[in-house]
Amino acid sequence: MPLDAPQDFSMSRAAMKAELLDPETELKLAYAWRDERDEAALHRLITAYMRLAISMASKFKRYGAPMNDLIQEAGLGLMKAADKFDPDRGVRFSTYAVWWIKASVQDYVMRNWSMVRTGSTSSQKSLFFNMRRVQAQIEREAFAQGEELDGHQLREMIAQEVGVPLRDVEMMQGRLSGSDFSLNATQSSEDEGREWMDTLEDDGPRGDEQVEESHDLAALRGWLGEAMDQLNDREQFIIRERKLSDEPRTLESLGNELSLSKERVRQLEAAAYQKMRKHLERQGEEVQSLLA
């Protein structure tokens, strides 16, 4: 028996012993709360319809939430209904309260179903609470007619029946396929405490890859340094400012500093690249493969 069962029974017994309000008394209490903020009237109204809240909360037990929590959420919905109820509209309070109780419990179930947010739009809420029922109905009808539906056909028919986009059905099917579980949970008793976390592949580079990349990078830097040594001071300055600076400079700004035209700076840059390229080509096929 669940740990919260005794409290459930206590609350249920107390609710069943509450008075049954006739329409005139209910209306009187509603006016007293709305117009005079009479808390005694509110308490009497809430207590009288708590059995309705508990009854509706019990319909959501299959979603795995503790019954005490469901009852508390149903009670919150009942209080919201009492706060917003307008007795002048000629509607019974119980009829009005049903919507608020149901909405409050549904929101709680969806918030606590998974650590991944399930969704709160009207279509997603409709799917969450109706998809399994609709799917079972479609499958029964197909079986009775001797038809066999594949997964895509079934999802399309669910989307049409509920009136939601197909992508919402696909998303919700994944959400409802299983509950959350901890990556620190052990896979089985035979694995000597091996956790699911241990089976995850590390996306980072392997040790051998890091060593190889570091070696190649050091070699490439050395070759580029040697190639830079083949340039005169002005060519080195242009290459550093154009390609090796955090904020590369324009040909025009370099021309102004060196008292050269923009075209002359471009020519010097191209000539420097050519010198470096010829030097690197002499390093052999290994350099060519790294620069490819």
Cβ contact 70:61 at 8 Å: yes
Residue 220 CA to residue 280 CA, distance in Å, equals 10
DSSP classification of residue 119: -
Q: How confident is the model at residue 204 (pLDDT cuts 50, 70, 90)?
A: low
Q: How confident is the model at residue 44 (pLDDT cuts 50, 70, 90)?
A: very high
Please report whether residue 195 resides in a domain: no
Q: What is the pTM of this model?
A: 0.48
Please report whether residue 204 resides in a domain: no
pLDDT averaged over every residue in the chain: 80
Please report whether residue 205 resides in a domain: no
Residues 71, 153: one domain?
no
Q: How confident is the model at residue 141 (pLDDT cuts 50, 70, 90)?
A: confident
Give the total number of structural domains in the chain: 3
Please report whether residue 284 resides in a domain: yes
CB-based contacts of 66: which residues, under 8 Å, 6+ apart?
2, 4
CB-based contacts of 7: which residues, under 8 Å, 6+ apart?
68
Q: How confident is the model at residue 81 (pLDDT cuts 50, 70, 90)?
A: very high
User: Could you tell me the residue range of the domain that residue 128 belongs to?
Assistant: 122-176
Residue 163 CA to residue 161 CA, distance in Å, equals 6
